[in-house]
Structure formats: C-alpha cells, structure tokens
Copies of this chain bind each other. A is one copy, B any other.
Amino acid sequence: MGVPASLWYRHVLRVRYQESDQMGVVYHANYANWFELGRTELIRQMGVTYRELEGKGLILPVTDLQMTFRKPARYDDVIAVYTRIVSFTNVQLHFESQVRTAPAFQLTSPPALPTEEPTGELLVTGGTKHVWLDHNWKVTRIDRTAPELFALLTGKQMS
C-alpha cells in the first residue's frame, strides 16, 4: 500500500493452567489464540468490534499464520501481546504479533496508547494474513461493503 505499518497495540493477559502442557510450558498452539486476542483488542481500540463486523455478515478468517518461538511462557506468567497492522487492501489484512513478558500491574491498567516500542522480554514473534469474506464465504471489497471500516483502517495508517 505504501503506507507505514501501524503502531503496536498492547493486550495483557495471565497464562492459564489449561494452557500449560507436560513440558511445563505453554502449548505452542495457544500462542495462535493469543495472536487472535491481540487482533481483537486492536480492532476494539480502533473503534469497532469484531463481533459487530460478524453481526454485519463480514468474517475475517486467517489465510496464513507464521510463528517463531524464542522462549517459552509458563503458567501464571503475565504476558503482553503486541499487535500491529503491517499492510492492508480493500480485501486483505496483514497483522504482525509479538508475545512479551509484562509486569502484573498492566493486567488491570486501562488500554495503553499504541506505541512504536514494545517492551518486555521477547518470547514469540509472528503474524497472520486475512481476507474479508461475506456470509457466503465470498471475498468482499470492504471499501464498498463496510466503507466506515475501510476509512478507519486508512485513517489509522495515516496517523
């Protein structure tokens, strides 16, 4: 698109017992769930909710997922998921994600302002690509079917 990546949005969570496995660390597939939580909260902070989008008949399935695991998270750790929009068109969206350690007080902090500089020890990096579909699972151009949303995305990238 030629537009720069968005700032990083932060979502903080505590690791659940169920997310651990018998290696004593977080089972690797769970980071894909956390990436999703990060995307959901980024969209919410931008001013819409993914639930509303689905209510309008739009879905945004994952077409590609990539993750690199550097260090494991463990049960009861406090974790920050940082998410940013790398690029988008009227039919696609590409997010980048980082999982980092975080201080416990951030669990009950109000959403932080988006930042250029994620903090905390880096555990997992990766990203997902998505395509906008209508309720018949057909590709949809959101500049036409959801122009407010497209304007939001465009605005965020510019700011």
Q: Contact residues of A with B, CB < 8 Å?
A: 16-18, 20-25, 27-30, 32-33, 36-37, 40, 49-51, 54, 59, 61-69, 72, 75-76, 108-111, 126
Contacts and interface: CB of A to CB of B under 8 A. Distances in A.
**Number of copies of this protein chain within its complex:** 4
A45 B49 CA distance: 32
B65 A28 contact: yes
A29 B22 contact: no
A104 to B, nearest CB: 10
Contacts of A17: 21-22, 27, 36, 40, 50
B68 A64 contact: yes
B23 A21 contact: no
Nearest to A124: B65
Nearest to A41: B14
B66 A65 contact: yes
A70 to B, nearest CB: 8
A35 to B, nearest CB: 9
Nearest to A63: B69
A33 B18 CA distance: 7
A140 to B, nearest CB: 15
Contact of A30 (B25, B29, B51): B29
Given A65-B66, A69-B63, A108-B108, A18 B23 contact: no
Contact of A27 (B18, B28, B50, B126): B18
